[in-house]
């Protein structure tokens, strides 16, 4: 087999948050792939770094009253600690805030300039005069220019859905200082990506660099029309690198972040006396990026465009994975399923998560579900019951002795498993770890059956059969060793324990050892290799994840510990409303007397409300999928009775049913206490 040279990256974690179980899908998927390549004897390096620039970091540092450098150093240390805790082994872990990155950004920028891809345009942006900073969209709130709803976010209206730029808001307010921002026009630098359209089209769709779903997505959303100019500068102050030939402007974080891959490689090269060009400008090197589907287009359009223009290697593959759900739902802080890496490590074994993710990961970008019952079942059954059990039930009969000098007749079992190695390897190579794990478990089943059939526990009692006993153990332990080698990318700890038990290391290039049985060597005393998952520990982890949340709600010194999320999402309106304003809104108790689905509407239910007597209102409510019509029929609700009728696609809505919640499935219809009668006014 020819030795490949492979450079692998995982997306750079942002310095604004801690690593959680969702992030780990990616870093583990990548770590397994890298360990596999190394085990196969290829030259492979795993490169990563912290992504440190941008407005969010600047603001947070300011709020915490310290420098950005201090903040990002602390976060980087935490990230590295978490990764190490999960046996994620980077060859280099750098930072986008490094001299190497600054230099490379300059170099790449220069190439882009020379290629004539840069153009300048004025952009209107809001500026906070108190903080002295330009405001990203999410730091501005104001009144929607279209529907005039107050206190709306800076990019689109939560009421009418209208998209706008923050400069269009009526009465905008900076969420940083509460000041009224000024509109300032600034010169921004853009990359004209359209000039690379043909190249990107060929790269993204032509060759096998992307999963087919991703190629379709790019084709349907971006490549079918002219590519928009990419705004890659931000006026200062901005935590990042100043653009050398455009003083006062800084590279947008998404410009310098991917360059961090190269910069981190450069650090590694300097430490190991290697040439950067051998890794980034050589036809002999394959570059593989692992990313989540949320950052697809940065890595499949902008990034290849930058690389191409600056003469670097293009990615051989961009491997894109889906999101993590827990128990079939988005990770939730309130339910304790938003689990930090560090919290997991306090309660559970990292090897367990490595195996569980491996057993679920395929090559496509489907979301991956962490089901905690299944988690326990898989670990207990696959790892403890099947894999480790092979060693556990055979090693004790030969410990402190030797394996047989000649490998005994095993009916072809070892050879079968050796042959299966190529299948396993193919699955690893294709990122289809689930298939690889299935294949290995099948080998475990065969090995267990072998032990079962030979009944070594009976031979043990017969002094005349000790040689036979040793032969059986020699076979069983060799079958186990094969399994440990095949699982080594996923379970480096188990490989190490196996190596210690059998006095033969399993390291880089040692995949081949699965092809030849070990004979004559001594066997050490068997020690427990892996524990089962304890239900209690899982529960403790979930509980602690909830507690952390309550802690963060601090200030919540009442007994209920309600979290601050709702207010953070929709801060209190600052403008006061007079009593006169209040009484303008005529809210009434109403009974739902008809309720049904609206044909063709995705979110609407049609309700007929009775205000008592024969006064009724037909209203549409955007609560389909949350409430069934029969849930509401006959119920009392609160409605706004004097809301101006609104013509909608499906008819006229003559009012509004009051409900709360951020939307989606989180919508709660307000209901009056018992005793209220339809028609009563809400005061």
Partner RNA sequence: GGGGCCGUAGCUCAAUCGGUUAGAGCAGCAAACUCAUAAUUUGUUGGUUGUAGGUUCGAGUCCUACCGGCCCUACCA
Q: x/- string (CB under 7 A) for RNA, residues 292-331? A: ------------------------------------x---
Q: 157 vs 307, which CB is nearer to RNA?
A: 157
Least distance in Å: CB of 434 to RNA? Answer: 6
Q: Look up residue 515 and give its DSSP letter.
A: G
Give CA separation, 142 vs 170, 183, 408, 568, 661, in Å: 6, 14, 80, 15, 20
> Which pairs count as long-range contacts for 136-141, CB under 8 Å and 24+ apart, including other chains?
136/55, 136/56, 137/165, 137/166, 138/175, 139/55, 139/59, 139/174, 139/175, 139/176, 140/166, 140/169, 140/172, 140/173, 140/174, 140/175, 140/181, 141/169, 141/172, 141/173, 141/175, 141/571
Helix, strand or coil for residue 172? strand
Interaction with RNA in 333-362: which residues (CB under 7 A)?
Answer: 360, 362
Q: 75 vs 637, which CB is nearer to RNA?
A: 637
CA distance 290 to 210: 11
Kindly write down the DSSP assignment for every residue of 179-230, as one continuous string: PPPEEEEEEEEEE-GGGGHHHHHIIIIISTTS-HHHHHHHIIIIITSPPPPE
Q: Does residue number 221 form part of the binding site for RNA (CB under 7 A)?
A: yes
Q: Does residue number 371 form part of the binding site for RNA (CB under 7 A)?
A: yes
Q: Does residue number 448 form part of the binding site for RNA (CB under 7 A)?
A: yes
Which listed residue (206, 412, 463, 600) binds RNA by CB under 7 A? 600
Which listed residue (65, 206, 220, 412) binds RNA by CB under 7 A? 220
Least distance in Å: CB of 607 to RNA? Answer: 12
Q: x/- string (CB under 7 A) for RNA, residues 601-640? A: --x----------------x-x--x---------------
Q: Does residue number 536 form part of the binding site for RNA (CB under 7 A)?
A: no
Helix, strand, coil share of the chain (percent; to 5): 45, 20, 35
Q: 362 vs 563, which CB is nearer to RNA?
A: 362
- Binding segment (CB under 7 A) for RNA, from list 336-344, 524-532, 558-566, 581-589: 524-532
Tokens for 587? Answer: 């809210």
Q: What angle do CA 373, 13, 25 make, to 5 degrees?
A: 25
Q: x/- string (CB under 7 A) for RNA, residues 380-419? A: xxx-xxx-xx--xxx-xx----------------------
Angle between helices 350-360 and 433-454 (to 10 degrees): 110
249-261 burial, b at 16+ Cβ within 10 Å, e below that, comes to bbbbbbbbbbbbb
Q: 38 vs 427, which CB is nearer to RNA?
A: 427
Which listed residue (441, 443, 475, 667) binds RNA by CB under 7 A? 441
Q: 379 vs 485, which CB is nearer to RNA?
A: 379
Q: Does residue number 160 form part of the binding site for RNA (CB under 7 A)?
A: yes
Size of the site for RNA (CB under 7 A): 64
CA distance 390 to 356: 20
Q: 647 vs 683, which CB is nearer to RNA?
A: 647
The site for RNA (CB under 7 A) is made up of 158-163, 212-213, 216-217, 220-221, 328, 360, 362, 364, 366-369, 371, 374, 377, 380-382, 384-386, 388-389, 392-394, 396-397, 434-435, 438, 441-442, 444-445, 448-449, 451-452, 456-457, 528-532, 600, 603, 620, 622, 625, 646-649, 653
């Amino acid at each position: 087999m020819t030795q490949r040279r492979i450079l692998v990256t995982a997306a750079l974690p942002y310095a604004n948050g801690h690593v959680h179980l969702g992030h780990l899908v990616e870093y583990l998927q990548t770590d397994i792939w890298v360990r596999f390549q190394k085990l196969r004897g290829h030259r492979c390096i795993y490169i990563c770094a912290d992504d440190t620039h941008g407005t969010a970091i600047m603001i947070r540092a300011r709020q915490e009253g310290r420098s950005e450098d201090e903040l990002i150093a602390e976060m980087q240390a935490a990230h590295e600690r978490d990764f190490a805790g999960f046996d994620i082994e980077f060859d280099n872990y750098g930072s986008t805030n490094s001299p190497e990155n600054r230099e490379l950004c300059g170099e790449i920028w220069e190439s882009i300039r020379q290629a004539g891809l840069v153009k300048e345009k004025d952009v209107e942006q809001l500026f906070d005069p108190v903080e002295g900073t330009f405001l990203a969209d999410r730091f501005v709130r104001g009144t929607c220019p279209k529907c005039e709803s107050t206190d709306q976010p800076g990019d689109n209206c939560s009421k009418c859905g209208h998209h706008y730029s923050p400069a269009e808001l009526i009465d905008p307010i900076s969420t940083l200082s509460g000041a009224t921002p000024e509109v300032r026009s600034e010169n921004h630098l853009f990359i004209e990506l359209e000039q690379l359209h043909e190249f990107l089209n060929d790269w993204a769709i032509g060759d096998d660099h992307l999963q087919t779903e991703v190629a379709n997505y790019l084709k349907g959303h971006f490549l079918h029309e002219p590519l928009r100019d990419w705004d890659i500068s931000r006026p200062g102050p901005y935590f990042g690198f100043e653009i050398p030939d455009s003083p006062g402007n800084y590279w947008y974080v998404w410009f310098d972040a991917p360059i961090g891959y190269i910069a981190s490689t450069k650090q590694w090269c300097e430490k190991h006396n290697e040439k950067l060009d051998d890794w980034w400008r050589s036809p002999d090197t394959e570059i593989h990026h692992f990313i989540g589907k949320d950052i697809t287009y940065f890595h499949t359009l902008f990034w290849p465009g930058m690389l191409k223009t600056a003469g670097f290697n293009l990615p051989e593959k961009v491997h894109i994975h889906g999101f993590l759900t827990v128990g079939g739902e988005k990770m939730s802080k309130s339910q304790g399923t938003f689990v930090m890496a560090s919290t997991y490590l306090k309660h559970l074994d990292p090897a367990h998560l490595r195996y569980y993710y491996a057993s679920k990961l395929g090559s496509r970008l489907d979301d991956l579900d962490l089901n905690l019952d299944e988690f326990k079942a898989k670990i207990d059954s696959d790892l403890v019951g099947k894999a480790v059990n092979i060693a556990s039930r055979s090693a004790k009969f030969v410990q402190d002795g030797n394996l047989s000098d000649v490998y005994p007749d095993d009916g072809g079992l070892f050879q079968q498993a050796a042959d299966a190695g190529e299948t396993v390897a193919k699955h690893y190579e294709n990122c289809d770890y689930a298939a690889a794990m299935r294949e290995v478990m099948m080998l475990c089943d065969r090995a267990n059956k072998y032990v079962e059939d030979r009944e070594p526990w009976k031979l043990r009692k017969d002094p005349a059969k000790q040689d036979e006993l040793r032969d059986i153990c020699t076979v069983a332990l060799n079958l186990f060793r094969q399994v440990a080698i095949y699982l080594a990318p996923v379970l480096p700890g188990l490989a190490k324990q196996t190596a210690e038990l059998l006095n033969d290391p399993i390291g880089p290039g040692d995949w081949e050892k699965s092809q030849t049985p070990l004979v004559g060597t001594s066997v050490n005393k068997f020690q427990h290799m892996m524990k089962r998952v304890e239900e209690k520990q899982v529960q403790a982890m979930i509980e602690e994840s909830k507690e952390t949340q309550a802690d963060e709600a601090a200030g919540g010194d009442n007994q209920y510990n309600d979290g601050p999320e709702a207010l953070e999402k929709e801060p209190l309106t600052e403008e006061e409303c007079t009593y006169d304003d209040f009484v303008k809104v005529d809210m009434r108790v109403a009974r739902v007397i008809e309720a049904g689905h609206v044909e063709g509407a995705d979110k609407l239910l049609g309700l007929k409300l009775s205000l008592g007597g024969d006064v009724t209102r037909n209203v549409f409510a955007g609560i389909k999928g949350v409430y069934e019509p029969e849930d509401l029929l006959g119920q009392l609700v609160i409605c706004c009775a004097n809301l101006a009728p609104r013509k909608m696609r499906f008819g006229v809505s003559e009012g509004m049913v009051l409900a709360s919640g951020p939307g989606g499935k989180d919508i709660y219809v307000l209901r009056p206490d018992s005793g209220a009668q339809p028609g009563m006014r809400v005061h």
